[in-house]
Chains A and B, each alone.
Chain A
Amino acid sequence: MVFKCKNCGGNVVYNPERHKMHCPYCDSLESEQKETTGESLTTCINCGGPIEVNEFTSASQCPYCDNYIIFDERVTGEYTPHLIIPFVFSKERVKLLLRDKFKSCVFAPSDFLSEAKLNSMSGMYVPFWMYDYHVRGVFDGQGNKIRRWRSGNTEYTETSVYHIYRDMEVDFDKMPVDSSDAMPDATMDLMEPYDYKALEAFKEEYMSGFFAERYNQDALAGEPRAVDKAKKDAESILKQSISGYVGVHSALNNQVTLQRTDTNYALLPVWIYNYKYKGEDYRFHINGQTGKIIGKVPVAAKKVWGYGATVFASLFTIMMLVRQLLLMF
């Protein structure tokens, strides 16, 4: 499908700043009209030009007419997302964020934050599975409390040994795990947290203007990561309830058991900036809702030496000039 403007026929896209559909050609708002006739995964629905999509792509841009196309068969039926968080940050705002965050990175290559390079950034809805769990955690162990005091030249140490027992239950709501092979798991974990207050029922309109994928694996395949996260969080909460002890240990059987209570398929917004430097790819992921940036800035060795030498030479010269001035007075 493609969203076209009723007024001018241009491609209508979702505008994060206005929270509305917007036609960038005639500036109309909410003028979209969905077109689905003649859709295919190999040709553009708008201009008929050949397009290349991989097996998971659910939204893309035609390289010929620049229209944003959403592939109906990948957002309907079993692939219909339950939830979506629409983009909050537009490309222009993300540019500002990146420039602000990396302004102190003086050793980055000169064109790293250039307009031309930043324009290549694209917004993508990444497929996530969200799992709800009911977790029960039991801790059965021992810990010591120590009290020390002095009397004369003797130091006394009193050790009190306690039996510690905890039986806790907790519910986790929408533990997220990305379901995209193209997205590195560790980076997607760092994208969190998203603000779930903005979760909405899925609407195709939000996808217009962005790239997207359908889930790459089913909910079952993605679950081990979520289970691991839930268990770790439950263990951590359990541990926090045991305080004031030293040498806490457990010889007994402790366990965290969980039960999945619900599963949701959601699309979450991520901006992606690919920067190539000296044959190496530097990929930046920006949370499209919160603006959180994950990525490693490239370092230009020439700049490190150049700037370092300038600091050294300038400082040394300034100090020598001051010294000379003091000598002359």
Chain B
Amino acid sequence: MKQYFSYFKWMFIVLGVLAVITGVVAAANALTADNTYVRGNKEAPEQRVYDYADVLTSAEEKDLEELIAKRESQIGCDIVLVTIDESLYDIYGITDDTDANWEWSITEYAETFYLDNNYGFDETGTEGDGALLLHNWHPVEKGLHVAHGGKVWDHYSDSMIADLLDVIYDKAKDDPYEAYKYYVENMYREMSGKASAINLNPFILFIIAVIVAAIFIATHIKPKEGSKTTTSSTYVENGSVKFNAQRDELINKYVTKRVIQTSSGGGGSSGGRSSGGSRMGGGSRRG
């Protein structure tokens, strides 16, 4: 036991110090007032989750509403979720199914929904702080769009929106609730500036700890048996190696040749797509 404690002395000291620091910080945080935002815009409805496509259970909707309420006060941004399962082409009288038409229609619907409902944490309109995720489950026009305004628009770059939509798209295939929860938490992480800390996923930390423990065992379990330390010359009497004959005679020489196959490579280009005429910031993903 003594050997055990002496071996892990430093590990336990680090652990203890960290635990104390965490405790002190937690206590200090509990004593000081929570950094909550006060809502400026009183015109928006209280509802945040509109599950017209009916992909969530009522319990899930309620959970999301509660989570959004909590997160909104922490970051001072409205977080809205809308799911639909309908043809926007019919609504807007579009006849050609092109990417541009698809993007325009989903953007238009999302922004109109946001603006007509007067969302925005501090104020209404395009300058109001907030975001809306629109998920259309329609078989032909299915896809996602995030519309954002105010400080959310300032914070999120196009690539951040694209990454966010990729994750939501993948998660929604198996579990829409998890996908939308991810959207809410992503908003919270980004807008609260705690992105790096929360990205330390406990499961990944668990795996890291398992791997390190396995490496620790593997490197310490190796039994040391001892190895050979003599060479072929250990017992050779000094200067006794004598070559009576040492001949290297060329007896044949031949040349072979081979044609080297060369291959030509091809390249591709990828382009971005931009939409014009929208009122808010945002990005879409079709599929």
Contact = CB atoms under 8 A, between A and B. Distances in A.
Nearest to B214: A308
Contact of A308 (B7, B12, B213, B225): B213
B235 A233 contact: yes
Interface core residue of B12, B229, B232 (most chain A CB under 10 Å):
B232
A37 B186 CA distance: 96
A307 B15 contact: no
Interface string A247-290: 00000000000000000000000000000000000000000000
A169 B210 CA distance: 58
Contacts of B243: 166-168, 241
Contacts of B196: 326
A107 interface: yes
| B interface residue count range (under 10 / 10 to 19 / 20 to 34 / 35 or more) | 35 or more
Given A154-B257, A158-B255, A168-B242, A316 B206 contact: yes
A299 B255 contact: no
B100 interface: no
A122 interface: no
A169 B257 contact: no
Contact of A237 (B3, B233, B255, B258): B233
Interface residues of A, number: 77
B236 A173 contact: yes
Interface in A196-251: 229-230, 232-234, 236-237, 240-241
B220 A314 contact: no
Contacts of B250: 160-162
A106 interface: yes
A315 B212 contact: yes
A307 B236 CA distance: 48
Given A153-B260, A154-B259, A295-B226, A328 B7 contact: no
Interface stretch (A45-53, A67-75, A76-84, A97-105): A97-105
A157 B198 CA distance: 60
Interface string B20-36: 01100110010000000
Contact of B257 (A157, A232, A237): A157
Contacts of B167: none
Contacts of A329: 25
A322 B214 CA distance: 22
B94 interface: no
A305 to B, nearest CB: 9
Contact of B235 (A175, A294, A309): A175
A169 B241 CA distance: 6
B158 to A, nearest CB: 27
A171 B194 CA distance: 76
B228 interface: yes
B4 A323 contact: no
A318 B240 contact: no
Interface string A289-312: 000111111010000101111111
B96 interface: no
B259 A233 contact: no
B256 interface: yes
A321 interface: yes
B246 A241 contact: yes
Contacts of B67: none
A192 B232 CA distance: 12
A61 to B, nearest CB: 27
B245 interface: yes
A168 B236 CA distance: 13
A5 B194 CA distance: 81
12 contacts: A105-B220, A155-B257, A160-B250, A163-B247, A164-B248, A170-B236, A294-B225, A307-B217, A313-B209, A323-B205, A324-B26, A325-B25
The 4 A-B pairs with the shortest beta carbon distances in the complex, nearest first, are A326-B197, A236-B232, A294-B226, A312-B213
Interface of B: 3-4, 7-8, 11-12, 14-15, 18-19, 21-22, 25-26, 29, 194, 196-198, 200, 202, 205-206, 208-210, 212-214, 216-217, 220-221, 223-230, 232-237, 240-260, 262
Given A159-B254, A229-B235, A323-B197, 15 more contacts: A105-B224, A142-B251, A154-B258, A157-B257, A158-B254, A163-B249, A165-B245, A167-B243, A167-B246, A168-B243, A169-B242, A233-B232, A307-B216, A308-B213, A323-B200
